[in-house]
Amino acid sequence: MGMRPSELFHLFGDLNNLSGIGPKTVINLKNLSIEKPRDFLFNLPFSVLDRLPVSSIRGVPASKIVTVEVLVKAHKIGRSRASAYRVTVQDTEVSFQLVFFNARKEYLENLFPVGERRIISGKLEFYDNIPQIVHPHHVKKINEEKAIVRFEPVYPLTTGVSQKLMFGTINTLLEKLPKLGEWIDHELLKIKGWPSWHDALKSAHCPVSADGASNTNPARLRLAFDELFSHPNLKKFTNEGPVTPDHVIRIKSKPLIIDLSKEKSNNLEKIIIQSIENFRESYKKYFKRNHKYNSTASMLDPYPRLILVKGIGIFSTGPTFKDAKIAMDVGLNSLSVILQAAKFGNFKSIPEKEIFRMEYWPLELAKIKNSSQKLKGQVAVVTGGLGGIGYVTAQKFKAEGADVIIIDIISPKDIKQDITGINYIKCDITNENKIRDVFKEISSIYGGVDILISNAGFATVESLEKLTRQQFDKSFDLNLFAHHYFVKHGVEIMKRQKTRGVVLFNISKQAVNPGKNYAAYGLTKAALLFLMKQYVTEYSDYGIRFNGVNADRIRSGLMTDDMITKRSKARGLTTKQYMSGNLLKQEVKAIDVAEAFYHLALSYKSTASVITVDGGNLESSFR
């Protein structure tokens, strides 16, 4: 068992050793569960006061807390000690009053000498339209060493324990706080954006914004992570049951706890799988044991919604990303309540049979009713997602329940389309390293991928005679190699998931029916068709399907309105005649391509399949 670092010894000493704390205060501090100096540091502020610094109170609304430098002008003593004692002060523009009740004249004259300047902070009020601050919270001399902080933490208090005592003691302890070695995985810290333990404590007690006490503050999340996973009774108190009915339908009656701290790295996957299987079997027994209390109930899926892995973090699961996020929010709230209860005693939930009745109560189950969306729970990634076909495809898959991520090269601030409910990642997909990083980001957010739609592309229009090496290279970079990089790193995730998956390529009729002056485009599309087949050859053993769509004459970034007008005019046709120049005499639209992608995503027994979406053109059909 490791020894406690000597730099921390002072945090485990007696409270009597701290300045300003006597025997009576020690007794009172027990009401706040403060029994050692370390407990001060983990007694976090519950809110933050914003002491707005101003040069003058002119224009400041009532009830606003301000910090302002003033010149002391005069004292006006009340008729009795219980009546108001007023000190008139002047800022850069306005005179106003500081008001005191039950005040001692000598004390206030010493605190506010006429003709001297002071910095004061307090709540601005108006009495008969006269601005005043009643009993300022802080008074400082000019250039005093310890200034008034802009964002002041507010701590829980009890009888005999003041805000001043809490603030002063905690700041003294923070000054002596050592910087220890990090015990959380550095990659996890990077992903979460969490500070070190030392910086997290300082940030929690010395906020730099008004939301410093928010439960979503990175410093607080880091400290909560430490507190939760270092708790000696973690498994016991997290298995007591839910806090509310909403909790049990979202996260079941208890989380799954896995301790990998003593396991060898080559055994981790086996331990995780076995732990989940044990949870599943335990849930089945729980259902069977309590089914008599609701004999018409059908068992919900028996898998955990919240998984606590000691030394790594908290994971949530669900049928969709949204459900998983809800489970995480509910789970964190539940764990917070249980942790707080553990500080003052023990958390106790209701009996198991009542938990079962809540979990299978029809009114609660209505909140998580089944969806008819066929792609619910699937994670789909679309390249070129802001183009004509890519955007419509992303919207189609979103409408069918998928969690959609689109990738494109446009800066987020320049996006004109509505991408509400879709995650956008800016990336140059011709750069393999950037694609690799994108999939790391997607995996950290969604846990993996199920559908890859390799859609991005562009057309170079030039005759073979004039086609340059640079034009060829640019076409191959985006129309072939970028597809390979995208699919290569996406299917690696699918392989590790062992949940199959599907890859859909936007190929083009140019792959089989070349057009004049489209050599650079057609050659890459022909190679892309072969690339799809090569992936089929090498990855079918993993249950991953690879299919494509050959589309033609679709209004998109490749075929703009200007291009359509010029081509129609050159052929002596109207734009409508040109766009419907196929055997079916109908214009083919981006949604038709999206429907083809959707059909292939659901064709679970089809691979190496290519659907032609062009309204009918025998020359570009497969035969």
Q: Indicate the domain borders of the chain.
A: 6-47+158-225, 52-148, 231-368, 380-620
Closest by Cα among 525, 544, 514, 513 to 608: 544
Residue 496: pLDDT band (50, 70, 90) is very high
Residue 139 to residues 142, 152, 273, Cα–Cα distance (Å)? 10, 15, 61
Residue 507: pLDDT band (50, 70, 90) is very high
Residue 48 has pLDDT above 90, yes or no: yes
Rounded CA-CA distance 459/557 in Å is 9
**Burial grade of 158 (CB within 10 A; 0-12, 13-18, 19 or more):** exposed
If one compares 485 and 315, the residue with the highest pLDDT of the two is: 485
* pLDDT at residue 428 in the model: 97
Residue 1 has pLDDT above 50, yes or no: no
Residue 62 to residues 56, 69, 137, Cα–Cα distance (Å)? 14, 18, 16
Estimate to the nearest angstrom the gap between the alpha carbon of 512 and the chain centroid.
45
Q: Which two tokens stand for residue 319?
A: 């049928």
H-only helix segments in 231-294: 234-238, 245-251, 268-290
Residue 311 has pLDDT above 70, yes or no: no
66-112 confidence digits (pLDDT tens): 999 999 999 999 888 778 999 999 999 999 999 999 888 999 999 99
CA angle 430, 436, 437 (to 5 degrees): 110
Query: Which residue(s) pair with 92 in the sheet?
Result: none
Residue 513 has pLDDT above 80, yes or no: yes
Rounded CA-CA distance 68/29 in Å is 34
Residue 423 has pLDDT above 60, yes or no: yes
Residue 577 has pLDDT above 50, yes or no: yes
* pLDDT at residue 2 in the model: 52
Tell me the backbone φ, ψ of residue 119, rounded to 5 degrees. Answer: -105, 125
* pLDDT at residue 250 in the model: 87
Residue 623: pLDDT band (50, 70, 90) is low
Residue 299 has pLDDT above 60, yes or no: yes
Least confident of 26-30, 408-412, 457-461: 457-461
* pLDDT at residue 236 in the model: 76
State mean pLDDT over 322-348: 80
120-136 confidence digits (pLDDT tens): 999 999 998 899 999 99
- Please report how the helices 352-359 and 268-290 are oriented relative to each other, as an axis angle in degrees rounded to 10: 90
Least confident of 188-197, 300-309, 350-359, 604-613: 188-197
If one compares 110 and 214, the residue with the highest pLDDT of the two is: 110
Q: Give the chain's mean pLDDT.
A: 90
Percent of the chain with pLDDT over 70: 98
* pLDDT at residue 188 in the model: 75
Distant-in-sequence, close-in-space partners of 318: CB < 8 Å, separation ≥ 6: 305, 324, 325, 326, 327
Residue 597 has pLDDT above 50, yes or no: yes
Residue 58 has pLDDT above 80, yes or no: yes
Residue 3 has pLDDT above 70, yes or no: no
Residue 57 has pLDDT above 50, yes or no: yes
Residue 64 has pLDDT above 80, yes or no: yes
Domain 380-620 in the same topology as domain 52-148 = no
* pLDDT at residue 168 in the model: 92
State mean pLDDT over 54-68: 95
Kindly state the DSSP code that residue 183 receives in the 8-state scheme. -
Map residue 595 onto helix, strand or coil. Answer: helix
If one compares 4 and 243, the residue with the highest pLDDT of the two is: 243
- Please report how the helices 321-344 and 218-230 are oriented relative to each other, as an axis angle in degrees rounded to 10: 60
- The matching CATH number, chosen from 3.40.50.10490, 3.90.660.10, 2.40.10.480, 2.40.50.140, for 52-148 is 2.40.50.140
CATH tag, 380-620: 3.40.50.720
* pLDDT at residue 203 in the model: 93
Closest by Cα among 190, 213, 203 to 47: 213
Residue 471: pLDDT band (50, 70, 90) is very high
Residue 567: pLDDT band (50, 70, 90) is confident
* pLDDT at residue 340 in the model: 73
State mean pLDDT over 287-303: 93
State mean pLDDT over 376-405: 96
Query: Which residue(s) pair with 546 in the sheet?
Result: 503
